[in-house]
Structure formats: C-alpha cells, structure tokens
Amino acid sequence: AQSVTQLDSQVPVFEEAPVELRCNYSSSVSVYLFWYVQYPNQGLQLLLKYLSGSTLVESINGFEAEFNKSQTSFHLRKPSVHISDTAEYFCAVTPQGGKLIFGQGTELSVKP
C-alpha cells in the first residue's frame, strides 16, 4: 500500500521569502507524484507532476519539486513567494495506473 506524509500542516512565511513544503511517501512499487493547490472553496489545480525522466520538475508560476528516490521525498519549493500563493497544497501519489492518494495538506500562508 502507498501512503503520503506532509510533515507540516501550516507554513507561515513573509512575502518574497523562500519556502519549502515537505512531502514523503512510501510505496513498494514505482509511483507517479503530484502537487496540487487548492484555493478556498475551490477544487484542486495541478501544480506539477513527476512521471519519469528528470527528477526536477517545474510549474509555470515558479514552483519546483525534486523527486528523491533514496529519501522517498518530493518536496515543493519556491525561491520567492507572493501573497497570491496563499492556499492549501496537497502532495499526492499513485502507483502507475492506480488510485490517487493524498497527503494531509499544508496550509501556506504568505504575509506582507
């Protein structure tokens, strides 16, 4: 069985500061990894994903995540956050072709 752990439930940061949202997973098979963002009272939007190939993946709005197989991690980073990045972020994993399993979520709060 697969599982996902997001180590921080809340991450408060100041605007223009760097941020890292941590995600660890466990699986006995190869998996796909995702980060989703959820704004209040909305569904989830895909931020970025790792399927294969380069272990560093990037989103169009400056986020990046690196797949580390040895540490079973897929941490999300941004070098300089904006107020508009305030949202809930979910890490998710699926065994290739299987069900999507979500972490508990990390609330990113960017303060001016």
Partner 1 sequence: GAVVSQHPSRVICKSGTSVKIECRSLDFQATTMFWYRQFPKQSLMLMATSNEGSKATYEQGVEKDKFLINHASLTLSTLTVTSAHPEDSSFYICSASPGQGMSTLHFGNGTRLTVT
Residue 18 in contact with residue 78, Cβ under 8 Å?
yes
Compare residues 99 and 112 and give the one whose CB is closer to partner 1. 99
Strand spans (E) along 3-82: 3-5, 10-14, 19-21, 24-26, 31-38, 44-50, 56-58, 64-68, 73-78
Nearest-approach distance from CB 71 to partner 1, in angstroms? 22
What is the footprint of partner 1 within residues 62-91 (CB under 8 A)? 90
Nearest-approach distance from CB 25 to partner 1, in angstroms? 14
Sign of CA dihedral 90, 94, 98, 104: negative
What is the footprint of partner 1 within residues 15-54 (CB under 8 A)? 32, 36, 41-46, 49, 51
Give yes or no for residue 104 binding partner 1 (CB under 8 A): yes
Nearest-approach distance from CB 1 to partner 1, in angstroms? 12
Residue 6 CA, chain-centre distance (Å), reads 9
Give yes or no for residue 56 binding partner 1 (CB under 8 A): no
Residue 48 amino acid letter: L
3-state secondary structure of 84: helix
Q: Which residues bind partner 1 (CB under 8 A)?
A: 32, 36, 41-46, 49, 51, 90, 94, 96-100, 102-105, 107
